[in-house]
Chains A and B, each alone.
Chain A
């Protein structure tokens, strides 16, 4: 017995270690069991002065369906998977305006809109015309969705092989009208995202760079200032920038003006950021701003740009600015038009960025390719604005225009035919530089409230400004006003292939009968048929015996 004890102890120890091993093996079993996992992006959810818009829910747990569903089918527990290429906008409009019950919507965007995936995006698979068509469809869809209050989740995803296969399967089973079985489609789309919460005090960040001018004998602040402003954020994604090239092309030869570059945030939200930024200047600084040029949508124009002002065109300043710009434009081979729009003080809506300046009595103008002011949240850069639709040469020309006109004004060379930033000189506009920044901008989504204070994009902008200007200040403000935004924008969609309920019940039936047959077989072979019969007759026979 004593010789067994150490052996027994050893055995116990080995058993413990084996159990531990089993546990380790168990944890190594792959716990992710979805057929596909896809990144999806939620439609933005926001309130304007309390009125809700956008998609109000985030979690999704329904079966997938396609557009080929049987008419009159109940879709309240189905997610419609719609590729944008086959989009029928009237159908979607009908659904949303009539508030028909739906489990959810999943839109599939072609890969070319995928800003993160450059190889697919630059594929020449699509003709220009298709691209344009897609752009208009997408813009319309976006406008429709953004201005509607949708009581179910709406997600966007990019097409890829897995999702295409799933969609094909779903379509096939919808068309044939078969209920989903275990092996032929029956997909469940699950997004487990937290309930969207309001973003409390979303921060917007304004960055400014300051290039002081050559001061004669006094405070540089007494020199007049020209401000060049653009907003870098979007309500979707959009590329807008030119400022850096301006920075780059302004070397150490300083004129008798200070140059102030402002990158403002809160553009779509009635230029809230610009508003706050201007308020942060004191009176003297503001008065020293000679004029400000705001830039908006200068990426894809052909041969006409507009300068929008709010002061009447007969104003001397405005005339001066306009003449300067149009002379340069003529030399460069295109036209610049002047449009005047009065500020409507009672309307809280701010149409152009320069209106914020004008409200504080700073002469300002906006340079844009749009001839009319965009509506609220329109043209603020959505899904349809992507790298493809930006004309690099257009941007280069815009840069040249602004740079030349401002430089001539600074150095007092107006009206004279001298090119300060001539091509092929060291001061020329640097194309690869522009291209790389455009790529970066088109890849990063820049919705302001979702950019944290230390977002790498903001720091990249700041660093770039620091490289080329003297003083850089970053202001963090809180977005206030009519807009409230909700979080939970990006999630992972799990696609599971599920078996229907009937399959499981059928399986249970089959297994039950198998076990019963096995039981009878074994009883018959090992104990004999009599025993089997006696199994069912035992109680009565006992009663007979006792009686």
Chain B
């Protein structure tokens, strides 16, 4: 019975990635290689972040919100951005359009993130007899993360891969990218500083992710108009 629960939570956490890949033209153009490469880059980035965190951050005994530590956390979070930059620009991809490139990279990134952060707790925890809502909420969080990653990849590709952007939109692009990049810090502030419970935080994440996706879609199509 509880293996059933594990199965449910697993398809909630990892299903959307597979669905996204098969539903969009990504599957037609066979961009799996790009996604895999992006996933590997994510793993590398995670390792670098881990090392930096271990070196610079001190372990706090209580679960409160320490601004200095969080600032450091956010700075280290920008390593994520650097990793994404690397994945988008430096890796050699097969000739795929920009449109699909950022999607593939975002997808691979989000999938690696889900696997690394959510698979182990899911496997160990949700097979027990005791029932908690945690794993379902975690799955929803993974969904939000997927949307965030794709938006960030879109904005990233706008920033670094597109040369002719309308001047007025550039600051908006950078601002949105900044918000999405610092999302982890914002959620941890909400959880620890304001004391929000997990369901509330997940709801907030889902909402913001949809907002961000919408905004980045608009920006992307706005930037696409001159070239088309």
- A residues sitting closer than 8 Å to B (CB atoms) are 11, 14-15, 18, 21-22, 25-26, 29, 31, 33-35, 182, 188, 190, 494, 496-499, 501, 504, 507-508, 511, 514-515, 518-523, 526-527
- The distance in angstroms between the C-alpha atoms of A168 and B93, with both chains bound, is 62
- The distance in angstroms between the C-alpha atoms of A481 and B16, with both chains bound, is 70
In the complex, which of the residues A15, A22, A498, A521 contacts B120, with contact meaning CB atoms closer than 8 Å?
Answer: A22
Residue of A nearest to B127 (CB): A33
Residue of A nearest to B44 (CB): A11
Q: Are B20 and A511 in contact (CB under 8 A)?
A: no
| Set of chain A residues within 8 Å of B133, measured between Cβ atoms | 182
A-B contact list, 11 entries, CB within 8 Å: A15-B43, A29-B124, A33-B130, A496-B128, A497-B131, A499-B131, A507-B8, A518-B19, A522-B20, A523-B24, A526-B24
In the complex, which of the residues B16, B44, B120, B124 contacts A31, with contact meaning CB atoms closer than 8 Å?
Answer: B124
In the complex, which of the residues A14, A29, A182 contacts B131, with contact meaning CB atoms closer than 8 Å?
Answer: A182
B68, CB-defined interface residue at 8 Å: no
| Set of chain A residues within 8 Å of B7, measured between Cβ atoms | 508
**A24 CB, min distance to chain B CBs, angstroms:** 11
- The distance in angstroms between the C-alpha atoms of A146 and B12, with both chains bound, is 52
B125, CB-defined interface residue at 8 Å: yes
| Set of chain B residues within 8 Å of A15, measured between Cβ atoms | 43, 47
Q: Are A501 and B1 in contact (CB under 8 A)?
A: yes
Residue of A nearest to B47 (CB): A18
- B142-176: CB near A (< 8 Å → 1, else 0) gives 00000000000000000000000000000000000
**B15 CB, min distance to chain A CBs, angstroms:** 5
Q: Are A18 and B128 in contact (CB under 8 A)?
A: no
**B156 CB, min distance to chain A CBs, angstroms:** 20
| Set of chain A residues within 8 Å of B203, measured between Cβ atoms | none
Q: Which 8 A-B pairs have the closest CB atoms?
A: A522-B23, A33-B128, A496-B129, A499-B131, A526-B24, A33-B130, A496-B130, A26-B120
- The distance in angstroms between the C-alpha atoms of A501 and B131, with both chains bound, is 12
Q: Are B8 and A29 in contact (CB under 8 A)?
A: no
Number of A-B contacts (CB under 8 A): 85
Give the interface size class of chain B: 20 to 34
| Set of chain B residues within 8 Å of A26, measured between Cβ atoms | 120, 124
| Set of chain A residues within 8 Å of B1, measured between Cβ atoms | 498, 501, 504
- The distance in angstroms between the C-alpha atoms of A11 and B45, with both chains bound, is 11
B195, CB-defined interface residue at 8 Å: no
Q: Are B131 and A498 in contact (CB under 8 A)?
A: yes
| Set of chain A residues within 8 Å of B20, measured between Cβ atoms | 518, 522
Residue of A nearest to B15 (CB): A515
In the complex, which of the residues B5, B120, B124, B130 contacts A35, with contact meaning CB atoms closer than 8 Å?
Answer: B130
B46, CB-defined interface residue at 8 Å: yes
**A516 CB, min distance to chain B CBs, angstroms:** 9
**B10 CB, min distance to chain A CBs, angstroms:** 10
| Set of chain A residues within 8 Å of B22, measured between Cβ atoms | 519
**B142 CB, min distance to chain A CBs, angstroms:** 13
Residue of B nearest to A535 (CB): B23
B121, CB-defined interface residue at 8 Å: yes
**A303 CB, min distance to chain B CBs, angstroms:** 57
Q: Are B130 and A22 in contact (CB under 8 A)?
A: no
**B120 CB, min distance to chain A CBs, angstroms:** 5
In the complex, which of the residues A35, A499, A526 contacts B23, with contact meaning CB atoms closer than 8 Å?
Answer: A526
**A509 CB, min distance to chain B CBs, angstroms:** 10
In the complex, which of the residues B16, B121, B136 contacts A29, with contact meaning CB atoms closer than 8 Å?
Answer: B121
- The distance in angstroms between the C-alpha atoms of A514 and B13, with both chains bound, is 12
Residue of B nearest to A508 (CB): B8
B116, CB-defined interface residue at 8 Å: yes
* With known contacts A511-B11, A518-B16, A34–B130 Cβ distance under 8 A: yes
- The distance in angstroms between the C-alpha atoms of A530 and B15, with both chains bound, is 24
In the complex, which of the residues A22, A29, A507, A527 contacts B125, with contact meaning CB atoms closer than 8 Å?
Answer: A29
In the complex, which of the residues B4, B47, B125 contacts A33, with contact meaning CB atoms closer than 8 Å?
Answer: B125
Given A29-B125, A34-B129, A521-B23; 19 other pairs, CB 8 A cutoff: A11-B44, A18-B43, A18-B46, A22-B120, A25-B120, A26-B120, A29-B120, A188-B129, A496-B128, A497-B131, A499-B131, A501-B1, A508-B4, A515-B15, A519-B19, A519-B23, A522-B19, A522-B23, A523-B24
- B130-142: CB near A (< 8 Å → 1, else 0) gives 1101001000000
**A103 CB, min distance to chain B CBs, angstroms:** 16
- The distance in angstroms between the C-alpha atoms of A485 and B24, with both chains bound, is 70
In the complex, which of the residues A188, A515, A520 contacts B16, with contact meaning CB atoms closer than 8 Å?
Answer: A515
Q: Are A21 and B50 in contact (CB under 8 A)?
A: yes
- B9-46: CB near A (< 8 Å → 1, else 0) gives 00110011001101111000000000000000001101
| Set of chain B residues within 8 Å of A515, measured between Cβ atoms | 11, 15-16, 19
Q: Are B120 and A33 in contact (CB under 8 A)?
A: no
Residue of A nearest to B7 (CB): A508
- The distance in angstroms between the C-alpha atoms of A425 and B19, with both chains bound, is 92
| Set of chain A residues within 8 Å of B131, measured between Cβ atoms | 182, 496-499
- The distance in angstroms between the C-alpha atoms of A507 and B7, with both chains bound, is 11
- The distance in angstroms between the C-alpha atoms of A14 and B52, with both chains bound, is 13
- The distance in angstroms between the C-alpha atoms of A520 and B23, with both chains bound, is 7
Residue of A nearest to B103 (CB): A526
**A391 CB, min distance to chain B CBs, angstroms:** 47
Q: Are B24 and A527 in contact (CB under 8 A)?
A: yes
